Chain A
Amino acid sequence: MLDLGLAGLSSLAPLASLADGAPTWNTGLLYTVTFCLFAAMTLVSSVMLLAARDVVRAAFLLLGALGGVAGLYAMLGADFLAFVQILVYIGGILILLLFGVMLTNREPVLLHGAPTHRLVLPGVVASMVALFGILFVVTSYDWGAAPIADKAIEGSTGRPLGELLMTDYLLPFEISSVLLLIALIGAAVIARRRGLTAEPE
């Protein structure tokens, strides 16, 4: 009953239109085109983010990258995660980062977060090592030509995810809720300016 909205939206994705006996969920031209669209959105925004000099522009490029990742979650059939990604990352973390940019840059010149020159080479080397290391592992192992997952998850993932969180992952769930409370209080305490605590002005 509760997952009606999510189920309705997830049926828009081509992968949800599968019944038993249908071919694998990730076939079809529409799926390929949509995947390429979201992957291009993610990769182009993130690579432009690497070259961006303006912090505000970088924040908006991050919007594209995070939105693309949300699309990729949807492509994998994780509808709940796609919504959480949009809500938490784009609606929360990105706004928080923008607040950070606005609050910490009074002079326009500080808006330019240009890379330190002596760090460009180590950065390029480190990211290239990471990239080609992962690419080597990914391409050298045979993950199977055909996907193993023949059967898509039926309907929304919201309800089974909630059941998992309340059964198998109950302890991490509770710990993370305590952690969020600690983070909330800690952030409020740390961000409060000194002097404002003593007495009202």
Chain B
Amino acid sequence: MQIGLTHFLLVSAVLFAVGTGLIITRRNAVMVLMGLELVLNAAGINFVAFSRFVPKVSQHLHGDVATIFVIVLAAAEAAIALAIVLNIYNTFSTIDVDEIDLLRE
């Protein structure tokens, strides 16, 4: 069996679906963030896999660059989101995303 583009796409599809399920079903805000990271990783695999299978060799690294930017955004997002989660915990004493329904204290 030869590993082709389809196999990478299948893995990233499952990863995306799992991430979506985590984001929707979990109550813990940190678990929601974990689901978000899985979704971003699925996108990253897709970027790199597609760019490896374009005909022109000179374009093989453009997907890598896109994935680098995705990782940069994910790092920034994780830092900000964790800070917000900590602030929410200090204010509401919970990080259950169903319980938090106020923007003010």
Question: Which residues of A are interface residues toward B (Cβ below 8 A)?
Answer: 26-27, 31-32, 35, 39, 42-43, 46-47, 49-50, 55, 58-59, 62, 65-66, 69, 72-73, 75-78, 80-81, 84-85, 88-89, 92-93, 96-97, 99-101, 103-104, 110, 113-116, 119-120, 122-124, 126-128, 130-131, 134-135, 138-139, 143-149, 151, 153, 157, 160-161, 164-165, 168-169, 172, 176, 179-180, 182-184, 186-188, 190-191, 193-194
Contacts and interface: CB of A to CB of B under 8 A. Distances in A.
A85 to B, nearest CB: 7
A72 B30 CA distance: 25
Q: Which of A47, A92, A115, A179 has the most CB of B within 10 A?
A: A115
Nearest to B95: A104
Given A93-B78, A103-B89, A149-B60, A81 B48 contact: yes
Contacts of B52: 76-78, 147, 149
Given A78-B64, A186-B80, A43 B11 contact: yes
A176 B72 contact: yes
B24 A50 contact: no
Contacts of A179: 72-73, 76
Contacts of B62: 164, 168
Contacts of A138: 6, 9-10, 13
Contacts of B77: 183
A196 B13 CA distance: 45
A144 B6 CA distance: 9
Given A81-B68, A100-B82, A100-B85, A76 B20 contact: no
B8 to A, nearest CB: 7
Contacts of B8: 72, 76
B48 A89 contact: no
A128 B17 contact: yes
Task: Tell me if B's interface is mostly helix, strand, loop or mixed.
Answer: helix
B14 interface: yes
Q: Which of A119, A122, A164, A190 has the most CB of B within 10 A?
A: A190
A66 B41 contact: yes
B11 A42 contact: yes
B82 A97 contact: yes
Q: Which of B34, B41, B82 has the most CB of A within 10 A?
A: B34
Contact of A134 (B4, B16, B69): B16
B84 A190 contact: yes
A188 B75 CA distance: 14
A116 B16 contact: no
Contacts of A130: 13, 16-17, 20
Contacts of A49: 18, 22, 34, 38
Contacts of A42: 11, 15
